[in-house]
Structure 1
Amino acid sequence: MEYLEGEDLDHMLQREGPLPWARLANMAIQICSGLSSAHAKGTYHRDIKPQNCFRVTLDRNPDHIKLIDFGIAKDTNSGQELTQDGVLLGTPEYMAPELIATNATPDARSDIYAVGATLYKLITGTPPFSSKNVLDLLYHQSTPRPRPRASGRPIATSRRSPTTSCSRPSRRTRTSATRAPTSSARRCSSRSRPWSARRSCGT
């Protein structure tokens, strides 16, 4: 098991607040690239969320992201299910609606939905759907698309990657390599001013 020294993005969010898109876009590229590698091998994570995106320093890059906790991942090559039928796995705030509504089999699109929900929280400070009632969260597929929250900066993810968190999987990106979200993030990142720790602190 690899030892990682750093912090997950949820802890980072609690400490620093919502992230500027110029910085988050580069993280999004890495998250999608990591999923691309997993999907190419027939593995779906099933629990993408800020807590499972771990930030480490690598080659002088303090925002190198590693995906962690593949404990409930689904391996389509093994021919075996990790859980019994009817057992829900994942974190409700980031679960794709079809996994609850129709007991659908997790695939690349459900991971992509979770990426969208993760980016939404990192740029706004709150998940797209929230409730103290778990049942309300589990049936959020009947809720209209969340409106951009007031976080003091433009909600770039909702404007530039609208299909990532679509409630209907058919409207979500259909590629197992998550290439479309990655390409979108690269385009957005190239249009943004380079992020630096000094500039974010106003120095």
Structure 2
Amino acid sequence: MVNCSVWEYATENSTVYFMKDGSVVKRPKLDRSRFDKDSSPEYLRSDNCMLRKLEALDFVPNVREFGRDAKGLFLHLEGFSGMNLMDWYGNNGWSFPIKAMPFLVTLCERYHKIHENGVVHRDVNMRNVYVIGGDVFNNDPGILDFGFSNLDYLASISDGITWCDPDFVSPEQAHRYVDSDIRSDIYSIGALMYLLFARRPVFRHNDGDIGFVEMSKAEKDIEVMKMHYQVVPVPLNQRVSVGDDLNTSVMKCLEKSPDDRFQTADELKSALAKVRF
């Protein structure tokens, strides 16, 4: 595993700087009305707290230092070389080969280890899964961004609103973060797999016969979140040709009731390990 240093800076107006191998990118202040991640100093504090709980795991970033300097509050991480899963997916023609199923099996195994450490991610999405080394066939997923794992932080910002990616949010998480447990992550993993194979998310804002004309980004996100707890998803095998075993596993993840899903990521891992490819 090849690592690299990453610095994240948060100033009081939520501007964040990322520095990798000497490069610097300035991210403008985020518009919270768009359900983007709140990259505030509080988010960095929360991420630091959760990462330290997981410091024994080599597939999450390791905190080298957390502090403040002239630029503002910073979190210095030992990150990974490679790219996030969304970038890998785009670079490979928006296609995920069934022969790369071991990558997803390992991803579930690693989420199980996170859950065993008492942490629920609550922000599983394509950008928070990392393809370490840049090749899914290396079977080495990394997992990033644990700021939303901290319920105290979520209570301070949510005001009843979900801030994670609407394409992957579980029904219960769309209502109240406090009600989400490890089975919420399992739903989100299912949504991630659905997108990988179907080449589209489980729900789109214009899937329903509602007659949308023009909608803001926030309005579209709200409609998608409503669908996660109101609309039964189209089975994966009606979107794309996949085997019954994969379709059954993905759709079980996407059950509305947490009690009807796989109860642990280890159960999901075992099911995916049996998928024929």
Interval of TM-score (by shorter of Structure 1 and Structure 2): 0.7 to 0.9
1:163 and 2:240 are equivalent in the alignment: no
Mark the CA change 1:40 to 1:46 in structure 2 (over 3 Å): closer, same or farther. same
8 Å CA contact 2:128, 2:143 repeated in 1? yes
Moved more, 179-188 or 87-96: 87-96
Higher RCO (CA 8 Å, separation ≥ 6 residues): 1
How many aligned positions are there?
Answer: 180
Identity percentage of aligned residues: 21
1:183-202 matches, cutoff 5 A: 183-188=270-275, 191-192=276-277
Q: Which runs of 5+ in 2 are unaligned?
A: 1-76, 206-216
Measure the CA separation in 1 of the matches of 2:141 and 2:128: 10
User: Following TM superposition, by how much is the alpha carbon of 1:143 offset from its aligned partner in structure 2, in angstroms?
Assistant: 0.9
CA deviation map 1:21-74 (0-9, x unaligned): 221x2121121111111111110100101111100139xx63411111112113
Q: Scaled by the length of structure 1, what TM-score is found?
A: 0.79
What residue in structure 2 maps to residue 39 of structure 1? 115
Measure the CA separation in 2 of the matches of 1:11 and 1:28: 16
> What is the identity, as a one-letter code, of the residue corresponding to 1:180?
E
Mark the CA change 1:164 to 1:36 in structure 2 (over 3 Å): closer, same or farther. same
User: Following TM superposition, by how much is the alpha carbon of 1:158 offset from its aligned partner in structure 2, in angstroms?
Assistant: 2.1
Q: Scaled by the length of structure 2, what TM-score is found?
A: 0.59
Mark the CA change 1:81 to 1:150 in structure 2 (over 3 Å): closer, same or farther. same
User: Following TM superposition, by how much is the alpha carbon of 1:92 offset from its aligned partner in structure 2, in angstroms?
Assistant: 1.0
Measure the CA separation in 2 of the matches of 1:161 and 1:103: 23
Secondary structure of 1:18's partner? coil
Mark the CA change 1:172 to 1:159 in structure 2 (over 3 Å): closer, same or farther. closer
1:135 and 2:222 are equivalent in the alignment: yes
What residue in structure 2 maps to residue 3 of structure 1? 79
1:82 and 2:156 are equivalent in the alignment: no
Measure the CA separation in 2 of the matches of 1:138 and 1:145: 13
8 Å CA contact 1:48, 1:94 repeated in 2? yes
CA deviation map 1:131-184 (0-9, x unaligned): 261221111121122233545x42663234431111221211223xx1111001
What residue in structure 2 maps to residue 146 of structure 1? 234
Q: Which runs of 5+ in 1 are unaligned?
A: 75-79, 193-203
8 Å CA contact 2:130, 2:143 repeated in 1? yes
8 Å CA contact 1:88, 1:100 repeated in 2? yes
Secondary structure of 1:154's partner? coil
Moved more, 142-151 or 123-132: 142-151
Measure the CA separation in 1 of the matches of 2:239 and 2:114: 34
| Alignment match of 2:96 (pick from 19, 25, 37) | 19
Cα RMSD for the two superposed structures: 2.3
Measure the CA separation in 1 of the matches of 2:249 and 2:165: 25
Which stretches of structure 1, 4 residues or longer, exceed 4 Å deviation after superposition?
none
Measure the CA separation in 2 of the matches of 1:142 and 1:11: 30
- From the two aligned structures, give the one with the greater strand fraction: 2
